[in-house]
Amino acid sequence: MKKITIIAVSLALLLAAGALALENVKLPSPEITGGMAINQAIHTRRSIRKYKEAPINLRDLGQLLWSAQGITDTKTGHRAAPSAVATYPLKLYAVVKEGGVTGLPAGVYLYAPKDHGLTIVKKGNFYPDVVASMHFYNSWVEKSAVVFIFTGASTLIEKMSKDSGMLFTDLEAGMAAENLLLESVSLGLGGCTIGGFKSEKAAALIGIDKNVRLLLIVSVGKPV
Ligand SMILES: Cc1cc2nc3c(=O)[nH]c(=O)nc-3n(C[C@H](O)[C@H](O)[C@H](O)COP(=O)(O)O)c2cc1C
């Protein structure tokens, strides 16, 4: 009887580990050379709000996430975008539309910089909720393939000086978002910064804690 219990528990643990493995998605290694020349990307960037109903690929999704929050120095853990006192308070979510990214089920994903991977927050097509979380003038977002949501946790700096701490986190989101926008240009994609969203509805999409603020949304898709 004891033996059967041990086997049953081991099996349950193995199944749980398998289920957990399914919850994470490894992204293709980021391209760290090449791409469009930086001046050309800066010169070409425009806010793009019209998208083809066509998916982007997983490599491009990974490259976009990496450009915003990827680890670019494995020794120090420093990331692609700067951070005040290297506190890295940002989290970056990707809400993927049904058919938005080739081979990736629709859902809400959290970028894991250390693994350059995705952790699934919830599966399903939440794009109707994305559109519902927008102010009316941003309904065009429906045609994008993915929206990126930047959140910021309160930092040690914020504890010392609330205003500076919050400002620094907001600035970091802007810097990371600009990286992502320039990367989207380099990949032949189009993106737009979105500040016109309903915070509570957008926060409900990803389910954030009280001490976390939702800072910025960026849409990306294939330009028309
Ligand atoms: C913080 C911020 C919030 C923005 N919010 C929106 C928005 O809610 N909807 C939108 O269509 N564009 C939004 N934009 C994009 C601006 O409208 C756009 O950057 C501006 O018109 C300049 O055009 P360009 O980006 O093509 O150079 C936002 C830009 C920033 C920086």
Q: What is the pLDDT of residue 1?
A: 54
Q: Is the CB of 46 under 6 A from ligand 1?
A: yes
pLDDT tens digits for range 23-54: 699 999 999 999 999 999 999 999 999 999 99
pLDDT tens digits for range 97-141: 999 999 999 999 999 999 999 999 999 999 999 999 999 999 999
pLDDT tens digits for range 166-209: 999 999 999 999 999 999 999 999 999 999 999 999 999 999 88
Among all chains, which residue has been given the structure tokens 């859902």?
Answer: 107
Model confidence at 15, pLDDT cuts 50, 70, 90, reads: very low
Q: CA torsion sign, 80 to 84 to 86 to 91?
A: negative
**DSSP character at residue 29:** P
Strands 212-221 and 146-153, sheet pairing: antiparallel
pLDDT at position 4 over 90: no
What is the 196 CA–ligand 1 centroid distance (Å)? 9
What is the 49 CA–ligand 1 centroid distance (Å)? 10
Helix, strand, coil percentages in the chain from 3-state DSSP, rounded to 5:
40, 25, 30
Verdict on whether the full-model pTM lies above 0.75: yes
What is the 46 CA–ligand 1 centroid distance (Å)? 9
pLDDT over 90 for what percent of the chain? Answer: 83
pLDDT at position 5 over 70: no
Q: What is the pLDDT of residue 151?
A: 98
Where along the chain do its domains lie?
A: 2-221
Mutation to probe ligand 1, out of 44, 47, 51 (largest number of atoms < 8 A from CB): 47
Q: Is the CB of 143 under 6 A from ligand 1?
A: no
Q: What is the pLDDT of residue 2?
A: 59
Q: Is the CB of 90 under 6 A from ligand 1?
A: no
What is the 14 CA–ligand 1 centroid distance (Å)? 48
Average pLDDT on 149-173 reads 90
Model confidence at 18, pLDDT cuts 50, 70, 90, reads: very low
In CATH terms, the fold of domain 2-221 is NADH Oxidase (3.40.109)
Average pLDDT on 4-9 reads 54
